[in-house]
Amino acid sequence: MSQTQIVSTEPATGNELWRGEVGDLDEAIERANNARRNWGQQPVGQRMELVRRFANEVRKQAEPFAELIARETGKPLWEARTEVEAVIGKVEISISAYADRTGQKKLNSALQGTAALRHKPHGIMAVLGPYNFPAHLPNGHIVPALIAGNCVIFKPSEKTPAVGEFLVKCFHDAKVPQGVIQCLQGGADIGKALVEHWMINGVLFTGSARAGIAINRKLASDPGKILALEMGGNNPIVMLDTPKIEDAAVTIIQSAFTTAGQRCTAARRLVVVDSMFDQIVPAVKKLAERLIVGEPFADPQPFMGTVIDNQTADLLSESFVALMSRGGKPIMHMKRPDENLPFLSPSIIDATDMDDRPDIELFGPLLQVIRVADFNEAIMEANNTRYGLSASLIGGGPQDFELFWNESRAGIVNWNRPTNGASSAAPFGGIGLSGNHRPAAYYAADYCAYPVASTEMEQPRASLGIGLRDQ
């Protein structure tokens, strides 16, 4: 039976935060269809001005927006504030990217007229958002899609409906027409129906590989729909020789445990050469033991909040035990101080001798450590995954990084930087189970508009010079 209501609770308290009705898909499609022609025919400068107004609306409401994100996701308030800043920053980046990636071109010829290149919107785009960054990540699809002239129906995660509603309200407060950007609340059945609807021209998805693959299969026989998949990763951070042990430990902690490990770019595997193992692993453990895990508004602010819900916390706790049962050796046990709330401590497990390490994305604060003999083995281990989103190298020299960059199967390859925290001013995406070669962020303009070539003359002028009988 389909849901009729969506209820959101605060992970850190268990209290109900938001309750609302499941949206009407057919009504949303009709409104979008009525708005699409007028919106798409507006000058692009006018659309850009409206999304700038949206940024100003978010700016005005930045603190209540951040508080809502913190309450609904369980992430610390400081991190929720950075998410709101990213929502604002996305606008100017998207404007620059649209001009750069979809520029107009004309080539004049006296006899052949004008050859032109311009871009058109696809029409009605479905945006399916995740719960870990419920404002920033869908906004990274929505803003470029609106600038390009598309109408957008946004289905937020059923775990973060309040943030989705707030985000869309900011667009409406900025006078973006209500039919142009809509929030459609619902669960998996609504998402499935939205993806399959014949009037949807494109699907922009951020979420798990399992859900993304299901969407890809569903649309395999419908090549008319543009599909951009932004999925997860089993991301490696490789540790070579370096004297900067403390800095390396901080970088690993940031990679593995920011947002309680609920980032698609989070480091899931720490691959360490043998010569550094006894130095870096104790340093990482010592620092991880100092991390404060707490509710979003605690003082002092915690480094980590909750994972999204109790079901997720249960799954991660069971996964840690399963890794041990396969031969993993605990370095730092996963702890859950309150069985009724989804707070988890950061956890580390030595997976070097584990039988058949599972190539899955464990979306939480769980880091697997793998000891290798040398750099070549480290690269092989880093690439030992079907995913390919993010990879990072710590230590080594320029030649080592050049080799690592060349050999890594990932869309983001960093050196002495965390695996996460990618810039919106660069393309963001991966290969394998991490994406379908349609990177987001700065390259989102590529999938929000399509190029149209034309040859043009103000008056018809033509002649046949061969193959005609005499008059």
Instruction: Tell me the pLDDT tens digit for each residue of 403-436.
Output: 999 999 999 999 999 999 999 999 999 999 999 9
218 shares its domain with 245 = no
Query: 465 lies in a domain?
Result: no
- Number of separate domains in the chain: 2
99 shares its domain with 116 = yes
Question: CB neighbours of 366 closer than 8 A, spacing ≥ 6?
Answer: 261, 268, 316, 319, 320, 334, 347, 348, 349
Going by pLDDT thresholds of 50, 70 and 90, the confidence category of residue 2 is low
Query: 468 lies in a domain?
Result: no
Query: 160 lies in a domain?
Result: yes
CA distance 390 to 263: 11
DSSP single-letter state for residue 304: B
Going by pLDDT thresholds of 50, 70 and 90, the confidence category of residue 471 is confident
225 shares its domain with 322 = no
Percent of the chain with pLDDT over 90: 93
Instruction: Classify residue 452 as exposed, middle or buried by CB count within 10 Å of its CB (0-12, 13-18, 19+).
Output: exposed
Query: 420 lies in a domain?
Result: no
pLDDT at 110: 60
- Domain of 363 in residue numbering reads as 235-415
323 shares its domain with 406 = yes
71 shares its domain with 144 = yes
85 shares its domain with 190 = yes
Query: 293 lies in a domain?
Result: yes
CA distance 47 to 52: 9
Half-sphere exposure of 254 (CA within 13 A, CB side): 16
Query: 421 lies in a domain?
Result: no
Q: Which residues pair with 366 in a beta bridge?
A: 347
Residue 17's identity, in one-letter code, is L
178 shares its domain with 79 = yes
Question: CB neighbours of 314 closer than 8 A, spacing ≥ 6?
Answer: none
Query: 94 lies in a domain?
Result: yes
Tell me whether the omega of the peptide bond preceding residue 300 falls within 30 degrees of 0, making it cis.
yes
Both tokens of 60, joined, read: 């005005």
Half-sphere exposure of 376 (CA within 13 A, CB side): 0
Pairing between strand 105-109 and 113-121?
antiparallel
29 shares its domain with 154 = yes
275-318: per-residue pLDDT in tens?
A: 999 999 999 999 999 999 999 999 999 999 999 999 999 999 99
51 shares its domain with 173 = yes
Question: Average of pLDDT values for 72-97?
Answer: 98
219 shares its domain with 324 = no
Q: Is 213 helix (H, G, I), strand (E, B) or coil?
A: helix
CA distance 255 to 382: 15
CB atoms within 10 A of CB 18: 20
CATH at 98:
3.40.605.10
Pairing between strand 16-21 and 124-128?
unpaired
Query: 426 lies in a domain?
Result: no
Q: What is the mean pLDDT of the chain?
A: 96
CATH at 255:
3.40.309.10
213 shares its domain with 245 = no
Q: Is 179 helix (H, G, I), strand (E, B) or coil?
A: coil
Q: Does pLDDT of 1 surpass 60?
A: no
Question: Average of pLDDT values for 21-46?
Answer: 97
The residues that are catalytic are 230, 264
Question: Average of pLDDT values for 333-358?
Answer: 96
pLDDT at 465: 84
Question: Average of pLDDT values for 224-245?
Answer: 97
Q: Does pLDDT of 129 surpass 80?
A: yes
CB atoms within 10 A of CB 400: 18
Let me know: does 407 contact 376? Beta carbons within 8 Å: no
286 shares its domain with 401 = yes
How far from 410 is each of 74, 308, 386, 431, 465, CA to CA, in Å? 29, 27, 10, 6, 55
